[in-house]
Structure 1
Amino acid sequence: MASIAGKKSGLTWAVQISVAALVLLWLFPTVGLFVSSFRTADQISSSGWWAALFPAEQNEVYRTSDPDETRVADGDLFTVSGNIFEGEPREIRSWGVSSRDVSAYQPGETADMGDGESLTLLADGSYVWKGNDKQISGRGQRVFVTATVPPEFTLENYQTILFSGTGQDNMGKAFFNTLTVTIPATIIPIVIAAFAAYALAWMEFPGRALLIAAVVALLVVPLQLALIPLLRLHLAVGIGKGYMGVWLAHTAFGMPLAVYLLRNYMVGLPRDIIENAKVDGATDFQIFTRIILPLSFPALASFAIFQFLWTWNDLLVAKVFLIDATGSTTVMTNQIVELLGTRGGNWEILATAAFVSIAVPLFVFFAMQRYLVRGLLAGSVK
């Protein structure tokens, strides 16, 4: 009965639930990274990103104003009054005058610090500090506060990451370096592979089957196996460790998949169109540029997505073929590794850097994802 038209089997519901679970598993970390990139360090350390829209409790340290400038004589004593928050909206839950007990007092209570010195703190941050001439002098009194802090978002993290860094701490420079690596490393293999795929799909020549078999065999070659031989070849021909070297490396590693994917798509195109074009006197180049390429756009876009995402997120190839101690050619993946070493405790900086790194791949994927499945299914059915 489960196979009757109009009824869904249990397997269909299992697949839908599994897909929904995978989407949520991917979505939650991405949203969390996005929200955290706009939060301050204190907020990140005190609450999770899911509580970013709600007030949170934070332990903070403040000082009263400079007593030498603001104290007022009150008989034999001196008084200093003001507000420790200086206009910032806060609501004190508890406070203290010693780091050993930061919640010793409630708002409105008075802390007796001995020898007639006292401090009274209200919930809104207003205080009255009293003491003799020696006590009310020098620096302001330190106050430990547990306060309710309203939601706060800032663009300072992006300012720091994109515009304030220099050398190995400049994510903005690394962003453009990554574009410099990724765009040519995506376009070059597509152009070369499109010509090769057309030849393997529609041109008759000796050894074509062997070339197709070689392309399939190259798909299973581990990338790590070719890194050192390819680097030695680059050094031998003089291109060394630079943009040209990393472009050719990404081209070499992406070519087998590109040729395989595009050839499978092109061989499935209607033969009548190509034969009619040849009868009308069209050359192979004209057929390729005016017929094959427009019809193969889904496959081209599909590979472009894969190549762009792989190149953008690459660290290994960049480490091997693009080494620069000054940071002038450092890509974003390597820059984030550097930030982990220098700013390991600054989670707001790391979250911002990570989101900047994934923002462009997300845009590319969502802009071209409709072509992804069509390109991947190329040649799977007849």
Structure 2
Amino acid sequence: MSIGNRLARIGLPRLIINLTVLVVVALWVMPTLGIFVSSFRDKDQLTVSGWWTAFSSSERNEPGRLAGLDKMKQEGPLYVISGNVLEGRGGAVNAFGTKAVAPRAYKAGTEADLGDGIKLAINSDGTYRYTSTAPFTEDNTGRRVYLAVATPPVFTMTNYQNVLTGEGIGQSFVNSLTVAIPATVIPILVAAFAAYALSWMSFKGRTLLLAAVVGLIVVPLQMSLIPLLRLYNDVGTFLGVPSKTYAGIWLAHTAFGLPLAIYLLRNYIVGLPKEIIESARVDGAGDFEIFTKIVLPLSFPALASFAIFQFLWVWNDLLVAMVFLGTDKDKLVLTGALNALLGSRGGNWEILSASAFVSILVPLLVFFSLQRYLVRGLLAGSVKGG
């Protein structure tokens, strides 16, 4: 079958859509792949080359110095100083030079004529032979040379060890889990009860209450954050409860997440088959039994969809965490720790890349474990309603 027939069979519009999706996915995944590869790279290689060169040898310019008069030996008519300019460092010398402006003036293994009967040859393994027809003096020994050194790719787990042990990220990781898990479960439980009530229970003001919930979705977080904090502090002072606790941030994330959760779950629950609910009522089941034994199991796709959104939102949050928990090291969440690390270790890319990948690891696990329910829950919540 020819290429033209294959294209005709597939369909040009479909082919364009598939290629577009493939390009978008590749562009979306590329930064994550770069962070992942960089997090395992050696510090010296990471600072001089991009992550896409991680699996090939990289070249960098390094200074070196020849030995002094104490290493001078006479071999026939020549005076010789020999040694190794790499001094135990890894890599292979591709080229060398005697001036900073021309570090690649001579290829490795060739002999450079430096004038006045002085010659220098540096091999790829770093060994060199420095010769002169006259005895060396203090002026022409201990010479600085410049090397173009190729090093093989080096991968290490040291970056992660430094992040999880020496940078305080480990404790911040635990703090983020302490915040994110309850702040995801609590609004789901509350919203599920509210969504069932707005869907299948008749009471006065139900329509107005639903309209208020929809209106709260568009309220900016920044507008309500400070009033909510003041209210929380006033109540805490009245009850004698200390501020800056995990309970406060759980309640804050619950309050900010409830409107969307109720709206999403209500649109899904109201679209469940009416016959099932009515049959359960005929059999004598109450609202609580209907909710726990019928509605909740059938609403799992919608619950999983919101759980993904809420967990990702809470995990990546910095503003609410700093307001309600503060910046103490024992309560600092992962985003706060990375923000502080970026300020103090901005040049240590190996630490930052490892920290960034640690921060996205948990959201990736949550997303891939629940993503099969995501589209089903969102589509059902968008087309069903009443």
Please tell me the TM-score bracket, short chain as reference: 0.7 to 0.9
> Is residue 101 of structure 2 the alignment partner of residue 103 of structure 1?
no
- Range moving further from structure 2, 91-100 or 153-162: 91-100
Whole-angstrom distance in 1 between the partners of 2:326 and 2:89? 49
Give the counterpart of 1:175 among 166, 173, 186: 173
Letter in 2 for 1:249: A
Counterpart in the other structure of 1:343: 345
Counterpart in the other structure of 1:162: 164
Q: Do 1:37 and 1:157's aligned partners in 2 also have CA atoms closer than 8 Å?
A: yes
1:147 Cα deviation after fit: 1.4
TM-score (norm 2): 0.85
1:127 Cα deviation after fit: 2.5
1:202 Cα deviation after fit: 1.0
Alignment deviations for residues 173-201 of structure 1 (CA, whole Å, 9 cap, x no partner): 21111111111110110111111111111
Counterpart in the other structure of 1:357: 359
Q: Do 2:265 and 2:381's aligned partners in 1 also have CA atoms closer than 8 Å?
A: no
Counterpart in the other structure of 1:216: 214
1:283 Cα deviation after fit: 1.8
1:18 Cα deviation after fit: 3.2
Counterpart in the other structure of 2:198: 200
Letter in 2 for 1:61: P
Change (3 A) 1:25 1:148: same
Whole-angstrom distance in 1 between the partners of 2:130 and 2:11? 74
Whole-angstrom distance in 2 between the partners of 1:11 and 1:249? 47
Counterpart in the other structure of 2:331: 329
Whole-angstrom distance in 1 between the partners of 2:251 and 2:162? 33
Q: Do 2:244 and 2:325's aligned partners in 1 also have CA atoms closer than 8 Å?
A: yes
Identity among equivalent pairs (%): 54
1:263 Cα deviation after fit: 0.9
Say which SS state the counterpart of residue 61 (structure 2) adopts: strand
Counterpart in the other structure of 1:296: 299
1:319 Cα deviation after fit: 2.3
Whole-angstrom distance in 2 between the partners of 1:115 and 1:14? 69
Query: Structure 2, unaligned stretches of length 5 or more?
Result: 1-7, 237-241
Counterpart in the other structure of 2:223: 225
Q: Do 1:116 and 1:132's aligned partners in 2 also have CA atoms closer than 8 Å?
A: no
Q: Do 1:78 and 1:133's aligned partners in 2 also have CA atoms closer than 8 Å?
A: no
Give the counterpart of 1:53 among 52, 55, 58: 55
1:172 Cα deviation after fit: 1.5
Give the counterpart of 2:189 among 185, 188, 191: 191
Letter in 1 for 2:301: P
Give the counterpart of 2:259 among 240, 256, 275: 256
Q: Do 1:301 and 1:372's aligned partners in 2 also have CA atoms closer than 8 Å?
A: yes
Whole-angstrom distance in 1 between the partners of 2:254 and 2:344? 33
Give the counterpart of 2:268 among 261, 265, 268: 265
Whole-angstrom distance in 2 between the partners of 1:91 and 1:61? 14
1:327 Cα deviation after fit: 1.4
Whole-angstrom distance in 2 between the partners of 1:161 and 1:97? 40
Alignment deviations for residues 299-354 of structure 1 (CA, whole Å, 9 cap, x no partner): 11000000001111112212222212x41111121222212211111122211111
Q: Do 1:84 and 1:127's aligned partners in 2 also have CA atoms closer than 8 Å?
A: no
Change (3 A) 1:87 1:12: closer
Alignment deviations for residues 94-117 of structure 1 (CA, whole Å, 9 cap, x no partner): 123554543343323456889998
Query: Structure 1, unaligned stretches of length 5 or more?
Result: 1-5
Change (3 A) 1:134 1:64: closer
Change (3 A) 1:44 1:87: closer
1:13 Cα deviation after fit: 4.5
Letter in 1 for 2:202: E
Give the counterpart of 2:277 among 274, 277, 281: 274
Give the counterpart of 1:84 among 73, 83, 86: 86
1:207 Cα deviation after fit: 1.2
Whole-angstrom distance in 1 between the partners of 2:250 and 2:64? 53
Whole-angstrom distance in 1 between the partners of 2:20 and 2:216? 33
Counterpart in the other structure of 2:155: 153
Alignment of 1:139-150 (within 5 A): 142-150=144-152
Change (3 A) 1:242 1:117: farther
Counterpart in the other structure of 1:3: none
RMSD between aligned alpha carbons?
2.9
Say which SS state the counterpart of residue 288 (structure 2) adopts: helix
Whole-angstrom distance in 1 between the partners of 2:144 and 2:284? 90
Q: Do 2:80 and 2:129's aligned partners in 1 also have CA atoms closer than 8 Å?
A: no
Give the counterpart of 1:234 among 218, 232, 235: 232
1:161 Cα deviation after fit: 1.0
Letter in 1 for 2:124: A
Q: Do 2:99 and 2:146's aligned partners in 1 also have CA atoms closer than 8 Å?
A: yes
1:40 Cα deviation after fit: 2.1
Whole-angstrom distance in 2 between the partners of 1:335 and 1:117? 57
Counterpart in the other structure of 1:35: 37
Letter in 2 for 1:175: F
